[in-house]
Amino acid sequence: MTMLVEKLAEKVEYVPATGTLSALWLLLALPAAGAAILLLSGRRSNSWGPYLATALCGASFLWGLVSFFALKGESQRSVDLHLFSWIPVGGFNVDAGLLFDPLSATFVLLITGVGFLIHVYSLGYMEHDPRKKTFFAYLNLFVAAMLLLVLGNSFLALYVGWEGVGLASYLLIAFWYHKPEAATAAKKAFIANRVGDVGLSLAIMVMFAAVGTTSFAGVFSSGISGGTATALGVLLLLGACGKSGQFPLQTWLPDAMEGPTPVSALIHAATMVTAGVYLIARATPIYSMSPDAQTVVTIIGAVTLLIGCFIGCAYDDIKKVLAYSTVSQIGYMFLAVGIPGAGAIAILHLLTHGFFKATMFLSAGSVMHGMGDQVDMRRFGNLRKYMPITFGCFLAGYLAIIGLPPFSGFFSKDKIIEAAFDLGGTRGWVLGTVALLGAGITAFYMTRLMVMTFFGEERWTDGQHPHESPWTMLGPMVLLAIGSVAAGGLLVMGGALQHWLEPSLGPQHEVGTHTIDPIVVTILTLVVVAGGVLGAWLAYARRAVPTTPPVAVTPFTVAARKNLYFDALNESVLMRPGQYLTRALVFFDNRGIDGAVHALAAGIGGSSGRLRRLQTGFVRSYALSMFGGALLVVVALLAVRLGQ
Amino acid sequence: MTPWLTIIGVVPLAGALVVALLPKGRDLLAKQVALGTSLVVLALTIAMCLDFSTAKDAPRFQFVQSYDWIKAFGVSYSVGADGIALVLIALIAVLVPVVLLASWDDVEKLDADPASATGKDAPLSLRRSVKGFFALLLVLETMMIGVFAATDVFLFYVFFEAMLIPMYFLIGTYGGPRRSYAAVKFLLYSLVGGLLMLAAVIGLYVASTRQGPGTFSFEALAALDMSHFTQGWLFLGFFIAFAIKAPLFPFHTWLPDAGAESPTGGAVLLVGVLDKVGTFGFLRYCIPLFPWAAREFAPYVITLSVIGVIYGALLAMGQKDMKRLVSYTSVAHFGFIGMGCFAFTTQAGTGSVFYMVNHGLSTGALFLVIGFLIDRGRSRLISDYSGIAKIAPTLAALFFVSGLSSLALPGLSTFISEFLTLVGTYTRYPVAAVIATTGIVLAALYILLVFQRTMQGPLSTAHAHLKDLRGREVAALAPLLALMIFLGFYPKPVTDVITPAVQATLQDAGTTDPTPTQLQSK
């Protein structure tokens, strides 16, 4: 273990950026400029603003590609760009700087690439919205903040991006703020994130108190160990749970579906919610010093992946099912990132998930677009006939998520299950079994979604005329669908991604230490997945789907429909008592503290009313008291002088 | 050396005189003169800041002037600015023109409002004087500059008390329906604090007479050798006066009333600047003059501060009146500042001074934008508004950004100061810092709750014709928000000025920053 860290610490030497890479700041500046221009310009920018925002995001993607190839050409794969001295206060010296290494380069391409496609999609999806320039401004703001998150070279710079994406997420969830549910969901998301931020803030404080720095280079080469490493690991994990919708902070993510669908695809599926995985991957040198913290990460991942797919089976709202699916898939990533040497697999799953989940969300958006914003799957059915391209895209995403070879999800999920078993001992068996079980349930609820939406009889509400979406929407969907099909295979070919990420994540899982033969794991997984698909097919395709949710269901379904009572728990444990406490304190402040002061005043002045009248508003009375005060000073001073 | 401080202090007073002497009925001219004066002060202050040296060997106090005033008692007119005083004076210079611009028509509107004019406490003349209002604000500016510039304890005390007069009239004459109650409460609290401080000032003088000629000079007093007993009592005298002014829990109950009943401009200066005298006093007087006592009492002060952070936030959440809500958020923010002052680390100290500046900008912006809203909707109650963003998007946007600054969103200057305070406190008092950090969740709650209730959701029919912000109002708010964004990304110019002064203060207190724990063992 120590050797691993030493190896990593050696590699944590960052070389200053030169040449093309010294213009890295352009990556952020382009979308940031777009956001600023669009926010400050008047309503007229509704016509050209969306195109400008899309173009700037595209430009950022192109610059990302240029930078990526420049980095590939460097022998030292971690490049540091110092911008300016940000917060220099005594021993606390934080520089504003960017770090471009294989990990951040990978994220840059994901964010700007998927981001650009979703910008294009939104051109069609938001075409008739009167505030569309604001929408695109927020999208650009999000891209800029997310890039800062993955490019910042210190935990504090990361934190700025971290809250920046939280802000963009808030603004976009509440984009249709006149709907009370949207406003409430946005607030909930922000608060849950803030709870996580307490963890991140404290982690930064612990770092500074322990090693006097917050830069990645400084912290990782300082040899943090023992209790400090565990404390940091747990605190960072709390931050990651808030941002990534992991147990116990997962309930905000499904509610966030109140936002426009492109937002759900970009922020609440492909990029922002995976920031927690990025954080933990980035902090690999800390986690590798604390097996305890790693175990906690894997447990959180395993618990969340089960919660997510369990609840995903019970919902009828297509976006909420996808949202819980996201919760569950990120659980897989957490599980992987907590396993020593499996960080690259987590990132692999993050990338493939970015493709297939974005595909499915955009397809779901296309379905809603064609069905008059209907989200209830009980009101869909047989749509494959009316929206063939949407169906095709969704199908690609579906096959990818259930992990059918050779679709992309197969490569990443299979490897996670394998890595979990490879942990060995009870831990390995438990986590491996959970991951395997999760794959089966995922296959079940995704098949249920497919069947209810695209197959079976038409259960539409009156006056529905489903139609295919415009090409501005279909184009990005098709491109992402191609990614869902091919990305996994391309990325793992010859261990490409794992090798590429080694400078950031340390040596990756070595072949030859398997608990179970990988072939057996693969076959086992495919059997479980087939079971899930078959189960859903029997339950939903062979029988008519009622248009209202059945009432006579098992207690499990009831619990799942109520988010396993997490919301109820929050309400009864935090919200209600909080409200009572607040009310009690207001009373106490008015009657208790202030009352005591009033009583005191009354005691001195005979009655507070008389005292008040004496003092009210007249110049002379105040002048008198000032005069009295001044006199007192002089007398006192004289007394002192005379006393000498 | 240019006597910047005296010039900057006298200009607003002169402006106030001109405004007051203008013939009746020339209200517009009065406003223009007042605004012009405040802009001159701003320009002069910028020049002064550029003249301030941050070189390593630069003296702690710059632009020093000293003349005997009451020679018999060692009282002198002594002014000088260290980095802490400089940034606070700069804050005043920025806020006053903003307040003047934002309050342009406030007096006329107040008179036009029947609810206000016919109150039972209404003054004899039915019309309030416009030029009186603007003259008072300028007088207040002089007093505020004086209080930060004074380096003679007696002079400081004079400004400390004199500052109350214009503020008292601003609240009592131009305030809301319960202005008399609020004004008197404000005055009584301040007078009680002032009295305690007066006793301590005299005690300090007595102590100085025992070791040579009596003096009120700050630097001479800081060099005094006092017994622990004396230090303890004198510290308490100063501390309580400043804690009331700040206000620190549990001395805060005057603030919500004063904040809510003040005219908006008055509230901005009251909470934005006047209250800073308290926390400024902690750093300038309590710590360097009584280092032993300050170290002894520090854990108690930090406890009160942390309680204030949580308590203020919870109470803010429970308020129905927006102006009271903002006042309570200030109680929470002052908790952070107080904690930072007494943590005795460079980061916490610089953080809390920077917090004082940022809080002035942030709460100033929040009070102004809420003032604009109340001005339109004629109610301070949150429940009277809903969905305003739909018809007043600019107002909503500026409300939101001001709110974000209050919850210390990274990227805004308030984050830098809040985080510095926390990180600096953590190195010495980890438990306090951990508890205070939970305040960031509560801050998000109280801001987003009021934003959701007033700005989001369906538009209330009562306000269907509410007008969005005018150019003048945007012009008043924009500089504050722009400054906060700029300083959020580039705080160095300000922190570089503050840090040496804070380090000098810590040296006076006889403390040094803790070394990082993992580096200690090596």
Kindly state whether residues A498 and A624 are assigned to the same domain: no
Whether A597 and B72 lie within 8 Å, measured CB to CB: no
Please tell me which residue, A602 or A529, carries the higher pLDDT value. Answer: A529
Q: Distance between CA atoms of A219 and A212, rounded to whole angstroms?
A: 8
Whether A194 and B444 lie within 8 Å, measured CB to CB: yes
Q: For residue A177, give the nearest of B214, B389, B424 by CB distance.
A: B389
Which of B248, B347, B518 is the best mutation test for A, with the most CBs of A within 10 A?
A: B518
Q: What is the pLDDT of residue A631?
A: 58
Mean pLDDT, chain A, whole residue set: 84
Q: Residue range B173-181: average pLDDT?
A: 83
Whether B181 and A633 lie within 8 Å, measured CB to CB: no
The CA distances from residue B313 to A28, A48, B246, B325, B414, in Å, are: 35, 43, 16, 9, 16
Kindly state whether residues A299 and A447 are assigned to the same domain: yes
Q: Which residues of A touch B441 (CB under 8 A)?
A: 191, 194-195, 197-198
Q: Which residues of B touch A625 (CB under 8 A)?
A: 191
Kindly state whether residues A504 and A583 are assigned to the same domain: no
Whether A91 and B191 lie within 8 Å, measured CB to CB: no
**Which residues 261-320 on chain A approach chain B with CB closer than 8 angstroms?**
none
**Chain pair A-B, CB pairs under 8 angstroms:** 201
**Half-sphere exposure of residue A228, counting CA atoms within 13 Å on the CB side?**
20
Kindly state whether residues A632 and A488 are assigned to the same domain: no
With a cut of 90, say whether residue A333 has pLDDT above it. yes
Q: Which residues of B touch A228 (CB under 8 A)?
A: 517-518
Whether A205 and B389 lie within 8 Å, measured CB to CB: no
Nearest CA of chain A to the CA of B517: how many Å? 5
Pairing state of beta strands A92-100 and A79-89? Answer: antiparallel
For residues A436, A442, A447, A448, the Cα torsion angle rounded to the nearest 10 degrees is 130
Residue B68 in domain = yes
Q: Distance between CA atoms of A410 and A517, rounded to whole angstroms?
A: 17
CA end-to-end distance (rounded Å), chain A: 75
With a cut of 60, say whether residue A614 has pLDDT above it. no
Q: Which helix (H) or strand (E) holds B504?
A: helix B492-509
With a cut of 60, say whether residue A437 has pLDDT above it. yes
Q: What is the pLDDT of residue A551?
A: 75
State both tokens at A144: 């800029």
Cis previous bond, A248, omega within 30? yes
Whether A208 and B516 lie within 8 Å, measured CB to CB: yes
Structural domains in chain A (count)? 2
- CA nearest A591 in B: which residue? B253
Q: Which residues of A touch B252 (CB under 8 A)?
A: 593
Whether B423 and A92 lie within 8 Å, measured CB to CB: yes
Q: For residue B456, give the nearest of A160, A183, A636 by CB distance.
A: A183
Q: What is the pLDDT of residue A2?
A: 42
Q: For residue A616, give the nearest of B180, B422, B430 by CB distance.
A: B180
Whether A89 and B345 lie within 8 Å, measured CB to CB: no
Q: What is the pLDDT of residue B334?
A: 94
Least confident of A223-237, A630-644, B245-259: A630-644
| SS3 per residue for A220-285 | HCCCCCHHHHHHHHHHHHHHHHHHHCCCCCCCHHHHHHHCCHHHHHHHHHHCHHHHHHHHHHHCHH
| Maximum mean pLDDT: which of A360-369, A371-380, A508-517 | A360-369
Q: What is the pLDDT of residue B190?
A: 84
pLDDT per residue over B182-202, tens digit each? 888 888 888 888 888 888 998
- Predicted-complex ipTM score: 0.90
Q: Which residues of B touch A156 (CB under 8 A)?
A: 419
Q: What is the pLDDT of residue B119?
A: 45
Which of A589, A621, A641, A642 is the best mutation test for B, with the most CBs of B within 10 A?
A: A589
pLDDT per residue over B484-520, tens digit each? 999 999 999 999 999 999 999 998 888 888 888 777 6
- CA nearest B345 in A: which residue? A90
Pick from A479, A502, A518: which residue ends a domain?
A518
For the beta carbon of residue B105, count every other beta carbon within 10 angstroms: 15
Q: Is A13 on the interface with B (CB under 8 A)?
A: no
With a cut of 80, say whether residue B283 has pLDDT above it. yes
Q: Residue range A93-114: average pLDDT?
A: 91
CB A317 within 8 A of CB A376: yes
Whether B456 and A89 lie within 8 Å, measured CB to CB: no
- Tally helices (H) and strands (E) across chain B: 25, 2
Nearest CA of chain A to the CA of B453: how many Å? 9
Q: Residue range B153-171: average pLDDT?
A: 90
Report the DSSP beta bridge partners of residue B217: B152
| Maximum mean pLDDT: which of A84-93, A235-244, A480-489 | A235-244
Amino acid at A262: P
Q: Is A327 helix (H, G, I), strand (E, B) or coil?
A: helix
Q: What is the torsional sign of CA B29, B33, B38, B43?
A: positive
CB B18 within 8 A of CB B4: no
Q: Which residues of A touch B491 (CB under 8 A)?
A: 86-87
Residue range(s) defining the domain that contains residue A635: 568-643
Share of chain A above pLDDT 90, in %: 30
Per-residue buried b or exposed e for B465-494, using 16+ beta carbons within 10 Å of the residue's own CB: ebebbeeebeebbebbbebbeebbbbbbeb
Mean pLDDT, chain B, whole residue set: 88
Q: Is A163 on the interface with B (CB under 8 A)?
A: yes
Rounded to two decimals, what is the model's pTM?
0.90
Q: For residue B420, give the nearest of A89, A206, A583 by CB distance.
A: A89
**Which residues 561-580 on chain A approach chain B with CB closer than 8 angstroms?**
578
Please tell me which residue, A562 or B420, carries the higher pLDDT value. Answer: B420
Whether B250 and A593 lie within 8 Å, measured CB to CB: yes
Q: What is the pLDDT of residue B42?
A: 95
Kindly state whether residues A632 and A485 are assigned to the same domain: no
Q: Residue range A17-34: average pLDDT?
A: 87
Q: For residue A204, give the nearest of B180, B423, B444 by CB distance.
A: B423
Task: Identify the band that residue A629 occupies on the pLDDT scale cut at 50, 70 and 90.
Answer: low
CB A508 within 8 A of CB A372: no
Residue A127 φ then ψ, to 5°: -50, -40
Q: Residue range A241-268: average pLDDT?
A: 87
Residue A329 in domain = yes
Residue B522 in domain = no
Q: What is the pLDDT of residue B49?
A: 92
Report the DSSP beta bridge partners of residue B76: B68
Q: Token match 């007073």: residue?
A: B13
Least confident of A89-98, A502-511, B73-82: A502-511
**Which residues 209-238 on chain A approach chain B with CB closer than 8 angstroms?**
209-212, 222-224, 228
Whether A177 and B457 lie within 8 Å, measured CB to CB: yes
pLDDT per residue over A450-475, tens digit each? 888 888 888 888 777 888 888 888 88
**Closest by CA position to A96, among listed A168, A165, A31, A148:** A148
Structural domains in chain B (count)? 1
Q: Distance between CA atoms of A512 and A368, rounded to whole angstroms?
A: 48
Q: What is the pLDDT of residue A634?
A: 55
- CA nearest B486 in A: which residue? A86
Share of chain A above pLDDT 70, in %: 89
With a cut of 80, say whether residue B456 has pLDDT above it. yes
Rounded (5°) CA angle B370-A589-B261: 35
- Under DSSP, the state recorded for A379 is G
Least confident of A305-319, A489-503, B338-352: A489-503
Q: What is the pLDDT of residue A460?
A: 80
Whether A177 and B311 lie within 8 Å, measured CB to CB: no
Which of A92, A135, A222, A638 is the best mutation test for B, with the most CBs of B within 10 A?
A: A92
With a cut of 60, say whether residue A630 has pLDDT above it. no
CB B501 within 8 A of CB A194: no
- CA nearest B249 in A: which residue? A593
CB B348 within 8 A of CB B485: no
Amino acid at B312: G
Q: Distance between CA atoms of A408 and A420, rounded to whole angstroms?
A: 19
Q: Which residues of B touch A617 (CB under 8 A)?
A: 121, 123, 172-173, 180, 183-184
Residue range(s) defining the domain that contains residue B208: 4-517
Whether A211 and B518 lie within 8 Å, measured CB to CB: yes
Q: Is A167 on the interface with B (CB under 8 A)?
A: yes
Rounded (5°) CA angle B368-B374-B375: 85
Task: Identify the band that residue A3 occupies on the pLDDT scale cut at 50, 70 and 90.
Answer: very low
With a cut of 50, say whether residue A430 has pLDDT above it. yes
pLDDT per residue over A404-414, tens digit each? 888 888 888 88
Q: Which residues of A touch B315 (CB under 8 A)?
A: 582, 585-586, 589
Kindly state whether residues A458 and A588 are assigned to the same domain: no
For the beta carbon of residue A68, count every other beta carbon within 10 angstroms: 16
State both tokens at B332: 């929470």
With a cut of 60, say whether residue A602 has pLDDT above it. no
Nearest CA of chain B to the CA of A155: how many Å? 12
